[in-house]
Structure 1
Amino acid sequence: MSYFIANYIMELIDLSNREGIIDSCELTNKKGMQLSVLNFGATITSLKVPLKDGGTIDVVLGFDTVEAYKKSFNLESAPYFGATVGRFAGRINKGIFNLNGKQIHLNKNNSGHSLHGGNRNFSQKFWKLENVNKGENPSVTLSYLSRNNQENYPGELAVKLKYTLSEENELIIEYQANTTEDTIVNLTHHSYFNLDGHGSDLLEQELTINSEKMLETTDENIPTGKFVDTVNSPFDFSEPKKCPSKIDNTFVLQSPDEFAVSLFNKNNNLGMTVFTSQPGVHIYVGGNCYNTIKGKENKDYHSLSGICFETQNFPDAPNHNHFPNSILKKGELYQHKSIYKFQSF
């Protein structure tokens, strides 16, 4: 356990979900890769990757206190550093969708739309930290019970999330969920990565995206339902290119058997590769804290501080019949897995 417990003990709100009880866990694999997890938002607060020449580097943005994580949701644009996003990642147009002949109106929290699950979503909830394994391939499982009609989503949704550090320096994230009523689900992870640490921008790091299509969106970032070819466009990252200063797009992935995205930092010869069973990856460069909240080690995060690889279903999927299914029926199991693999050359 870490300093989070010493600094914050109890703010009891909802015992059924251990609401207000701060808990954390640290895992280390045999190669020295270290993971720190906080139960507020099932958040990854630190991911230290060993370098070939010795030492480790923390490759995710974050804060030094729980209070800073909480306050970050009041920023002009909440960064969701390291958080688990749900019930539904991405935007749902006007917060409305139809399910079983009924129109559902979700809480709106983004210019008249629903984003990342609503006003007080999974990223702001206290999860139960359980099943800690500190042996080979160390792991921790967290769980959360989302009540029926929370943020106006139908059904009571029971979620389990497992973080594993493999001995091959992989961060493996596995999700499972079941519901008491038909509902929609789209869970993802929201770390901002910077392979040069969290004190610099990432414009010199090289990005590769294994995709030939992305979702067309409106000016409000709502999918139109159309797919856009990326080949020979500014969004063609089939070959390594420097990270763009602005990107906030969902890319259609080729196959779950192939890599989705890779990132490489020539300054320390560190690379990461993302694999997922999901049909898309939403890529976003950002991390701005508007000189309001200090990041780790007293850093000022800005709009080029990190890059997100949100492996997920497509945003607004419930409103597009040709998008991958986002409905979880009662009695069925929602599950998917994403892998973030790191290599030092």
Structure 2
Amino acid sequence: MELNRRTVIASAAAAGIAASALGGTAEAAPGAASHGRRPVKEHFGTLADGTKVYRWSLENGGTALKVLSYGGIVQSLEIPDRHGRRANVSLGFDSLDDYVASSPYFGALIGRYGNRIAKGRFTLDGKTYQLSVNDGDNSLHGGAKGFDKRVWDVEPFVSGSDVGLRLHHTSVDGDMGYPGTLRATVTYTLTRGGDWIIDYEATTDKATVVNLTSHVYWNLAGEGSGSIEDHELQIAAARYTPTDAGLIPTGELAKVAGTPFDFRRAKPVGRDIRAGHPQQVLAKGYDHNWVLDKGITAEPEHIATLRDPASGRTLRIATDQPGLQFYSGNFLDGTLTGTSGRTYRQGDALCLETQHFPDSPNQPAFPSTVLRPGETYRTRTVHRFSA
């Protein structure tokens, strides 16, 4: 594994990903259009400062996305089951007010730094930076007003048989304590075969740290349908990063063998979730970074498969990143009501966030997340759906 290679030089393929990397083929679903249709824009709500928020709807290859300019949020993602019946498999809200007031990052773009940084502090080139602290003593997902709470500029596109959105945001020097003006572009693409591809790109005018990701909450049986403990999950990782009580990595790369963290072979999410492992007690389930066997790669490689046996819906994920955060929805507590009008309880969804490791700026042995002027941060994650 290339533990010292920087993400800024990890390049993604410019024109898609080989079907073999994810398994299966990328053919259009029966009855699906053979070319992308331009996304449709509608007003979704207005923030307290008067800023208008829009929702974009796009569809291709049997997959349908609804995306908000606020936070780049995936409000819904619909895919068919084995009988061709579509359902929204992503948790979310009906109103902008709910996203602003109480969202646990439902469907959001995360930045500048996905996951946690200890004490909200790191030192780079001899200078120490204090970040916004919003998770106990730590900084989580970019701080109190991360990229998930910003309104992005959205540009729709149709390119050949693909359809998508390019989202742009500029984070100024000092934003949430981070150095450098960061210019980020995130591209959502739906392919003719129904794949959802996320391309992340960023540049800076001062040395900084970057770790962008997506925070979709998955329930392949359908949003609001209940527990995901029967979902079968496979993760191509022989190690994970144990944490302290604040969910900050200790620095150890622990073996999953013989522990509830072993998902090298597919197993139900709920099989070992109550095994009482000390790490599960700290996190109230799974909320850890898996160290992917492949390490950093020039192009996305298959790293995880999630399947709902009841519906047959299957999600295969490929990435060029070295880590995957698997979060089992431990802090959903029944106080939030989703788009179906049903409440979300613990374990009603899970997250699979492709990423660099948490707290990497303070862990020299972890892959670097430093981005410098003249370099371009690029990374790609591919979601392939089947039933």
Please, what TM-score do these two structures have when normalized by structure 2?
Answer: 0.82
Q: Matches of 1:123 and 1:250 in 2, distance apart?
A: 20
Q: Quick one: distance in 2 between partners of 1:154 and 1:65?
A: 33
Aligned to 2:359: 316
Inter-partner Cα distance in structure 1 for 2:290 and 2:333: 28
Q: Which segments of 5 or more consecutive residues in structure 2 lack a partner in the other structure?
A: 1-38, 274-284
Shift of 1:134: 7.5
**Counterpart in 2 of 1:329?**
372
1:17 paired residue number: none
CA deviations on 1:133-187 (whole Å, 9 max, x unpaired) are 2862211110001111011100110000000111222110000000111100000
Picking from 238, 248, 252, the partner of 2:291 is 252
Matched residue, 2:321 = 278
* Misfit runs of 4+, over 3 Å: 1-4, 9-13, 287-293
3-state DSSP class of the match of 2:87? Answer: strand
Write the letter of the residue equivalent to 1:247.
Y
Partner residue, 2:45: 8
1:300-323 CA deviation, whole Å, 9 max, x = no partner? 001111110010000100111111
Identify which of 55, 62, 70 aligns with 1:24: 55
Q: Percent identity?
A: 34
- Assess if the C-alpha contact under 8 Å between 1:163 and 1:171 holds in 2: yes
Give the aligned partner of residue 217 of structure 1. Answer: 243
Corresponding residue of 1:123: 148
For 2:177, the equivalent position in structure 1 comes to 152
In 1, the alpha carbon distance for the partners of 2:47 and 2:142 equals 25
Using the alignment, how far apart are the partners of 2:237 and 2:113 within structure 1?
23
C-alpha distance in structure 2 between counterparts of 1:22 and 1:343, whole Å: 32
Deviation of 1:52 after TM superposition, in Å, equals: 3.5
- Give, in whole Å, the separation in 1 of the partners of 2:42 and 2:100: 13
Change (3 A) 1:340 1:196: same
Residue by residue over 1:10-68, the C-alpha shift from the partner in whole angstroms, topping out at 9 and shown as x without a partner, is 6546xxxxxx2212211111x32111110110011111112331221111111111111
Q: 1:10 to 1:109 in 2, by over 3 A?
A: closer
Give 1:4 deviation, angstroms: 6.0
Cα distance in 1 for residues equivalent to 2:334 and 2:314: 29
CA contact (8 A) 2:132 2:143 kept: yes
1:82: how far off?
Answer: 0.2
Give the number of equivalent residue pairs: 331
Report the residue type matching 2:58 in the other structure. Answer: L
User: Which of 234, 238, 246 is the equivalent residue of 2:264?
Assistant: 238
2:207 matched to 1:177? no
Distance 1:332 1:135, change over 3 A: same
* Residue type at the aligned position of 2:93: F
User: Which residue number corresponds to residue 107 of structure 2?
Assistant: 82
CA distance in 2, matches of 1:315, 1:10: 31
Which one of the candidate residues 230, 244, 260 is aligned to 1:204? 230
Cα deviation for residue 258 of structure 1 reads: 3.7
CA distance in 2, matches of 1:224, 1:93: 11
- Secondary structure in 2 aligned to 1:60? coil
Instruction: Select the structure with the greater relative contact order (CA < 8 A; seq sep ≥ 6).
Output: 2
Q: Compute the RMSD of aligned alpha carbons.
A: 1.8
1:298 aligns with 2:329: no
Q: Is the 8 A contact 2:72 2:148 kept in 1?
A: yes
Look up the equivalent residue of 1:40 and give its one-letter code: Y
For structure 1, the 5+ residue unaligned runs are 14-19, 74-78
1:10, 1:254 → 2: CA distance? Answer: 43
SS in 2 for 1:219: coil
Shift in Å, 1:259: 1.6
For the residue of structure 1 that corresponds to 2:350, the secondary structure is strand
Alignment partner, residue 23 of structure 2: none
- What TM-score, normalized by structure 1, do the two folds share? 0.92
In the TM superposition, residue 265 of structure 1 has moved relative to its aligned partner by 0.9
Once residues 340 and 41 of structure 2 are traced to their aligned partners in structure 1, the CA distance between those partners, rounded to angstroms, is 15
